[in-house]
Structure 1
């Protein structure tokens, strides 16, 4: 039986993952310069990827929109850098294995056998993010 993904545990495939509600196809490119997955009207300067299923699931669950949560297997087409929004500033050594790039990221597959967080965990995360935003802390990806 599949269970909720473990925090900081790299996905068994070692692949890069991207969580979203967007309906994408193999071969599609994710590129910066489009509307953010997390804030209407905000343009994202980067594409974000991770090697942990937990981070990808959070990305899908917290993404804007009414679509189905999806986890895509992706191949970055350029250099990656640590995502400063969730890595070294908050978790030294980048245990989240989360990265960002200004280059395209190609969809090469989709993971379908995963379990999301409980409704309680999801609400607690949303409440925490809302509290940080009320206090003026930028927690939304650029």
Structure 2
């Protein structure tokens, strides 16, 4: 891959991704009830995934932790629903193809050749998120 991810572009493979800084292995299960990747001290009731490389890249880049970002190929073991944090708040119709589930999600592979966002895009996103937090609008509906 030679280009930065493009918003709303479904990955040609048709797989689902999970972006994080956690070090996982093929066969591992992501389960609800763990710590949130995006809000310190919060327990997440869902596991989140996406069909777009762009959204997975944001997850890998912005999640908590000091480890390098990673993008895993995942398969849900049960039903999924649109992620209301994205679809209801920002992008009606779910063009980010972002989903969540209350059931486990199995790691079936890792995407290792992904390209991150530019330093400018990353800083702009961090600044925007910090502004939302300052204004009390950084709410995760979980």
User: Which band: TM-score by shorter chain?
Assistant: over 0.9
Q: Distance in 2 between matches of 1:11 and 1:88?
A: 22
Residue 93 of structure 1 is matched in structure 2 by 93
Q: Distance in 2 between matches of 1:41 and 1:113?
A: 31
Q: Distance in 1 between matches of 2:64 and 2:85?
A: 18
Residue 2 of structure 1 is matched in structure 2 by 2
Residue 46 of structure 1 is matched in structure 2 by 46
Give 1:38 shift: 1.2
Q: Establish whether residue 135 from structure 1 lines up as the match of residue 140 from structure 2.
A: no
Any gaps of 5 or more consecutive residues in structure 1? none
The root-mean-square deviation of aligned C-alpha atoms, in Å, is 1.2
Contact map agreement 1:129 1:139 (CA 8 A) in 2: no
Contact map agreement 1:21 1:70 (CA 8 A) in 2: yes
The SS at the match of 2:57 is: helix
Residues 85 and 93 of structure 1: is their aligned pair in 2 closer, same or farther, counting only changes over 3 Å?
same
Taking structure 1 as the reference length, what is the TM-score of the superposition? 0.96
Q: Establish whether residue 32 from structure 1 lines up as the match of residue 14 from structure 2.
A: no
Spell out structure 1 runs of 4+ moving beyond 4 A. Answer: none
Alignment size in residue pairs:
142
The SS at the match of 1:86 is: helix
Give 1:135 shift: 1.1
Contact map agreement 2:129 2:138 (CA 8 A) in 1: no
Q: Distance in 1 between matches of 2:75 and 2:34?
A: 19
Residue 82 of structure 2 is matched in structure 1 by 82
Residue 112 of structure 2 is matched in structure 1 by 112
Residues 139 and 125 of structure 1: is their aligned pair in 2 closer, same or farther, counting only changes over 3 Å?
farther
Any gaps of 5 or more consecutive residues in structure 2? none
Give 1:39 shift: 1.7
